[in-house]
Structure 1
Amino acid sequence: MMWGFYSIVTGRSAIHFKGNTCLLVASIILSLIALSNIITFGDRVLFEIPIPELLLKICNVVRASGRFFWPVYYMIIILSLTIVIKSTKTKGAMVLLIVALSVQFTDLSGKFTEFHEMYASEAKWDNPLKSEIWEKIDGGKYRNIVFVPAVANKESVAFSMLASKKGMTINAVYTARDDYAKREQYNNELTNSFKNGVWDTKGIYIVDNSLLISTIENKKANDLFLSVDGFNLLIPNGVLDKNFKDFDLKPFNFHYTYGHKINFGSSGDSHVIKGYGWGESEEKNTWTFGKEASLYFVLDKPKKDLMLSIRMSPLTGGSLKEQHITLIANNHKIKELSITSTSDYQFLIPKDIVNNKLKIILNLPNAATPKELGINGDTRVLALSVESLSLD
C-alpha cells in the first residue's frame, strides 16, 4: 500500500475512477457506516460525539459496524497491488510482493500457531449435569425448565439437551436477534414474581445465586431447594414426588458459623449470604452493582456484640476520590464512613438488634460507572470491590 501511494504521489501511476463510480460511492457509504461517535484509545474513551437520538436508533440497527470497513480495506489492497504491478517492472513487483508476503506471514505466525492448537486438538464436551436426579425428572409432570433470570450461558446448553430429551420447554436460549426491552421486561417480571414466592408447580427452576435468600424464605414445606452439580435447583412439591424419595437430598445450609471467613472470589462461598446488588464473582472479588447491596445471615443469637470485618476497595477515578458507605443492620444505622483505599473495615453491631437473622444493607450514594469517570468503557454502576468478610 505504501508503494502504491508513493507511485501515485510521484506520478508513476494514476487512479482513474471512470467506470468505477459505483465502487467509489459504495466505499464512501461503507466507511461512513463503519465510523463510530465514540473515540477510544485502547480501552480508554477519549471523547464521545453527541448525535441525534433518531440517527442513533437508525445506526443501532447495524451491530459491530466496524466490520463494514472490511470491503473498503480489501478494495484498497487490490488497488495497491494493481498500482504496484502496473507501475513497476515485473521483477521489481515480484520482489515487493514477496517482501510484503514475508512480513505478513511473520506478523501472523503467532495467530497461525494459536489457530492450529485450537482446531487440531480434540474437542471434548463435559456435560455438567452428572447427578442422577436430572434423569429422574418427569417431563410429563414438569413441563418447563425455568432459569431465573432467563440468561443463556454455556451451562444452558446442557439444560437445552435435557429439555429436548424430556420433551420440556426452556426459557434461556440463544437467538440471532433479541428484543432487549422485552427480554428485560420478562426477566424483571419473572424475578419479581419469584422473589415473592410465586412459581409454577409444572416447572423446575434454576435459580441465580442472588436469589438464594428470597428462595429459602419463600419455599414451602413440600418444595425441594437443592444444590446439584453446582446449580441451585428448586422443584415445587418435590418432596411429594416419588421419583426423588430414594435420593439422599440435602437442602441448602445457610447457617453462618461465627468467625468463618467468607471469600467473595469465584471459588468462594459468598453466594450463600449475598442478596441483591451484587455482580458476578471474579477471581478474587465481587463488585457491588448499583447504589445499594445486601447481605443476609442465618446464625445463632449472639451473646455479645458482633464485629463485622469487610475487606474491600473503592471505585475511584477522575473527580471521584472516595466511596461513602452507610451500613444498616436489621433496620438500624450502624456506621457511616468514606473509604479511599483497600483495607479491612470494621463495623460494631449491637447484640440486642440480632436474633437468629441478620440483614445488612450497604447504601452507596457515590456509585458510578467507570465510563463516566473516564477509566474505561465499562457502563456498570459500581462502588465497592469486596474480597472477604467475617463476623465475630
Structure 2
Amino acid sequence: MTDLSPADAGTSAPIDKPADKPRRPHFSSGPCAKPPGWSPEKLPQGSLGRSHRSKIGKARLQHAIELTRHVLRVPATHRIGIVPASDTGAVEMALWSLLGARPVTMLAWESFGQGWVTDVAKQLKLDPTVLTAPYGQLPDLGAVDWESDVVFTWNGTTSGVRVPDGEWIGDDRQGLAICDATSAAFAQELPFDKLDVVTFSWQKVLGGEGAHGILVLSPRAVERLESYTPAWPLPKIFRLTKGGKLIEGIFKGETINTPSMLAVEDYIFALEWAELQGGLPALMARADANAAALDAWVEETPWIEHLAVDPATRSNTSVCLKLADSAVPGLDSDAQRALVKEMETLLDVEGAAFDIAGHRDAPPHLRIWCGATVETEDVERLTPWLDWAFHTARAA
C-alpha cells in the first residue's frame, strides 16, 4: 500500500457516487446476513405454535443438533446442546460450571475476551493468569500453561484477529481448553480434538436469529462436570448436572428453558443451506473469498489498512479496518470515531451498507462482515462505496 502524498495528506474531495450497489448490503457482524435465498415463507410451519416438549418440537431440536454435528464435523464423542442467551449464555455456563478445579489462564486481545476475564476475576474471584495483547495483535500463545484451564476466543470479533491454528494447544494438557468460537464456527477450522468446550451463537456465520447458543463438550469436559462441584451456587439456566451426573437431555433437544421454535426452524434452514453449498469446506471457501476480495481493495487503497497486524492472524469473517494515519493527520480517536460513524450513516442512507462501524470498545475502525452468507460480488460492489463515503465524510 502506498501512502498519500504530502499534498493529499489530511485533505479529501468528494468523488462521484458509485452506480452499482451491493444486492444485499448486510455487513453487520451480528446478527449477520441471512443465507442467500432466505425468506420467512421458506421456513417450515409444523413446529410453530407447538410446545418445544412436543414430539415435533423435540424432533426439530434434535434435528438441529444432528445437522450442527454433521456440518461442523463434530466428533461423535462430543455432546452438543442448545442453550439460552446466545454465545454469552453458552460461555457463562462453561465458566460457572467448570472453572475452579484448577488454576485458570485467560487470553484477551479484544472486548469479548476481556469480558470473560472480568467474569472470572471479579465475579468468580479466581485470580486468573491473564495474557493480553492490544487490538490488532495476539498474546504470546507459547506462554500458555496447559496445567491450567485456558479460556480464549478463537476469532476476536471486535479486533479481526484470530488464532492461526490449534498447534499451540497442548495434546498432553491437564487443563481444559475452553473456546468461545462464535464468529469462527462454520468459517474456520476448529480442531475439536484439542478443544474441550466450544461455544457459538446462531446469528454469526450462518446468519441465524439471536438469543440461542450452542455448547459443545468433550469427554474431558463431561468428566470435569461429573467429578467437580463449584464453590458457588449455580442459577438454573447454568446447571448441566443433577446428582453428579450430566443432564443428558440437554444434549438431545430437551432445552433448559423455552426456545423460539421460529428461531430453531431458521437455524435449520441455514444448516440445510450450508449442506447444499458443500458443507464446512465450502463455507470456509466462501468466507475466504469474501475476505480476499476486501483485502485486495485494502492493498490498493491508501486511506485504509487492516487493524490486524499479522496477515496470518487476520479474520476471514469480522474483518476490521482502521484509517491510515496518513489519511487522518491530526485527528484524535474521538474525531476518527466520528468520521467512521459519518461514513456509516452515509452508506446506510444510500442503502449501500448497513452496520459497519467498529465495536464501541475498540479503536475507531470499520468492521465488514465477510462470513459465508455474504456474496463475494457484494463485497466487490461495496468497496467503491467505502471510497465514496470516506472522501465525502472527510470533505464535509
TM bucket normalised to smaller: under 0.3
TM-score by length of 2: 0.24
TM-score (norm 1): 0.24
Q: Which has the higher strand share?
A: 1
Structure number with greater CO (CA < 8 Å, separation at least 6) is 2
